C-alpha cells in the first residue's frame, strides 16, 4: 500500500460478554464477487434486467482463463453437488498507481513476474443453494505448481497469470473451478467505504511494526484505507500470516452483513449504487456473462449469512525451503476437507472439526 492510513483510535468499547446482546459481526480484495452475488439476490424480476445492463459495461473481462487446461477435475454428475458452483477469488499484490481491475483498469491485471496473488479463496456454493463455504488458502502454502514443481501457491499467478493460478488450485483441491474473479486494492477500499465502514473487534492491543499502527483492544469502525491496514497485518500477530488470513475471513463476514443490512434490503437505489462500486473494481473470466451472474445471484436469494462457512485449509505448520518461509499444509486432513467441499458436506465436516472454522472475533 503506497500510503499508510493514520493510527486507528479505539472506541474503547468493552469486549462482548455472555448475555450481552450486540450486533454480531457475521476477506481483503476478494470480497467483491461474493458480495455482488448476495446483493443481486435482493432484487427480483425486472430489476435484474436493469442491473444486467447497468453493471455489464463496468466489469472487466479476463480472456483465456481456462484455455488449454488439461486433465481437469470432473464435476459431480449426480447427487446434491451436481449443481454446485466453485469460484476462485484472487486479490493481487501489485502496487500499481492506477486501477488494474474493473472498467477503470488502466494497467493489465497481470504482468509476468510483477505480482503474486496476495489473497486466495475458493467460494463453493452448494448445489441446493442452501449453503456456501469460503475457504482461504494461505499465500505461502507450498504446493505443486504444474510445469514448475514445488513452489508457493501465490507464485503461480506471477509465473503465468490467472490460467496457471486456476490449474494450481484445481491440482491442489480436486475441485473443478467454474469461474474466476480478481479484485485489486482499490476495489477493496471502495467496497468498504461504500457500506459506510465496517466494525471490527480487536481482542487485545497489538502493534503492526511494518505500518507503525497500534490497534488497541476494543471496537473500531474502519474506513477503506484503515481496513486495508487491518486485513494486511501479519507483524505483531501471534500466528503471523495465518492470523492475517483469519482477519480477512472475519472482515469478509462482517462486510457481507453490512452490505445486506435492512436499509439496503428496503432501498433498491442503495443496491444499485453498491453494485456500481463492486462492478467498477471487479474482473472475471470472459466466459462468465452478466446474465449468468444474475441467475446465480437469484438462486441465492434464500441464503443467509449463517449458512456461509468461513475457514482455512488445514495447516501443519510453518517451515523453510531454502531461503523461503513457507506454510506446510496438513496432507490427508486437507484432502478430506476438500472431499467434503466437493460433495456439499462441509457443514457436516465442520461439526466434527469445529476448530477449523474462523471465529467471529480474531487476533
- 137-146 pLDDT, tens per residue? 999 999 999 9
Range of the domain at 91: 31-201+244-356
**Residue 349 belongs to a domain:** yes
* CA distances to 11, 121, 132, 360 from 189, in Å: 21, 18, 25, 21
**Residue 186 belongs to a domain:** yes
Determine how β-strand 85-92 pairs with β-strand 179-183.
parallel
**Structural domains counted in the chain:** 1
128 within 8 A of 80, measured Cβ to Cβ: yes
CATH value at residue 192: 3.40.630.190
**Residue 266 belongs to a domain:** yes
**Residue 226 belongs to a domain:** no
Per-residue pLDDT reduced to its tens digit, 219-272 = 999 999 999 999 999 999 999 999 999 998 888 888 877 766 555 566 666 766
pLDDT of residue 253: 85
Among 145-159, 181-195, 304-318, which is the least confidently predicted range? 181-195
CA dist., res. 139 & res. 241, Å (int): 9
279 within 8 A of 58, measured Cβ to Cβ: yes
Write down the H helix ranges in 195-240: 224-232
Alpha-carbon torsion 161, 163, 164, 170, what sign? positive
Rounded to an integer, the average pLDDT of 199-217 is: 96
Q: Which of 83, 74, 89 is nearest to 125 (CA)?
A: 83
**Residue 230 belongs to a domain:** no
What's the whole-model pTM score? 0.82
CA atoms within 13 A on the CB side of 282: 30
**Residue 214 belongs to a domain:** no
**Residue 238 belongs to a domain:** no
Q: Which of 333, 335, 322 is nearest to 149 (CA)?
A: 322
Rounded to an integer, the average pLDDT of 173-197 is: 87
pLDDT of residue 44: 40
192 within 8 A of 255, measured Cβ to Cβ: yes
CA dist., res. 209 & res. 118, Å (int): 20
226 within 8 A of 8, measured Cβ to Cβ: yes
Amino acid at each position: 500500500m503506497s500510503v499508510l492510513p493514520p493510527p486507528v483510535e479505539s472506541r474503547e468499547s468493552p469486549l462482548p460478554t455472555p448475555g450481552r446482546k450486540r450486533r454480531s459481526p457475521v476477506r481483503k480484495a476478494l470480497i467483491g464477487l461474493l458480495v455482488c452475488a448476495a446483493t443481486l439476490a435482493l432484487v427480483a424480476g425486472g430489476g435484474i434486467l436493469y442491473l444486467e445492463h447497468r453493471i455489464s459495461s463496468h466489469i472487466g473481462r479476463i480472456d483465456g482463463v481456462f484455455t488449454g487446461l488439461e486433465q481437469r477435475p470432473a464435476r459431480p454428475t449426480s447427487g446434491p453437488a451436481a449443481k454446485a458452483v466453485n469460484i476462485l477469488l484472487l486479490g493481487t499484490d501489485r502496487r500499481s498507481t492506477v486501477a488494474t481491475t474493473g472498467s477503470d483498469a488502466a494497467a493489465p491485471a497481470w504482468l509476468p513476474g510483477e505480482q503474486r496473488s496476495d489473497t486466495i479463496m475458493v467460494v463453493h456454493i452448494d448445489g441446493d443453494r442452501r449453503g456456501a463455504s469460503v475457504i482461504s488458502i494461505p499465500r505461502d502454502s507450498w504446493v505443486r505448481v504444474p510445469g514448475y514443481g514445488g513452489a508457493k501457491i501465490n507464485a503461480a499467478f506471477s509465473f503465468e497469470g490467472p490460467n496457471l493460478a486456476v490449474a494450481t488450485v484445481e491440482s491442489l483441491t480436486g475441485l473443478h473451478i467454474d469461474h474466476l474473479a480478481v479484485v485489486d486494492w482499490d476495489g477493496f477500499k471502495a467496497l468498504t467505504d461504500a457500506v459506510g465502514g465496517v466494525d471490527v473487534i480487536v481482542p487485545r492491543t497489538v502493534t503492526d511494526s511494518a505500518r507503525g499502527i497500534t490497534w488497541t483492544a476494543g471496537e473500531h469502525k474502519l474506513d477503506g484505507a484503515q481496513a486495508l491496514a487491518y486485513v494486511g497485518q501479519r507483524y505483531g500477530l501471534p500466528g503471523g500470516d495465518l492470523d492475517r488470513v483469519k482477519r480477512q475471513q472475519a472482515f469478509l463476514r462482517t462486510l457481507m452483513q453490512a452490505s445486506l443490512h435492512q436499509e439496503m434490503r428496503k432501498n433498491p437505489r442503495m443496491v444499485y449504487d453498491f453494485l456500481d462500486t463492486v462492478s467498477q473494481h471487479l474482473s472475471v473470466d470472459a466466459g462468465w456473462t452478466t446474465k449468468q451472474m444474475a441467475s446465480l445471484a437469484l438462486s441465492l436469494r434464500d441464503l443467509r449469512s449463517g449458512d456461509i462457512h468461513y475457514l482455512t485449509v488445514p495447516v501443519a505448520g510453518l517451515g523453510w525451503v531454502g531461503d523461503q518461509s513457507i506454510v506446510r499444509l496438513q496432507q490427508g486432513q486437507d484432502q478430506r476437507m476438500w472431499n467434503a467441499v466437493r460433495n456439499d458436506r462441509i457443514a457436516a465436516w465442520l461439526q466434527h472439526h469445529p476448530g477449523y472454522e474462523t471465529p467471529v472475533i480474531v487476533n
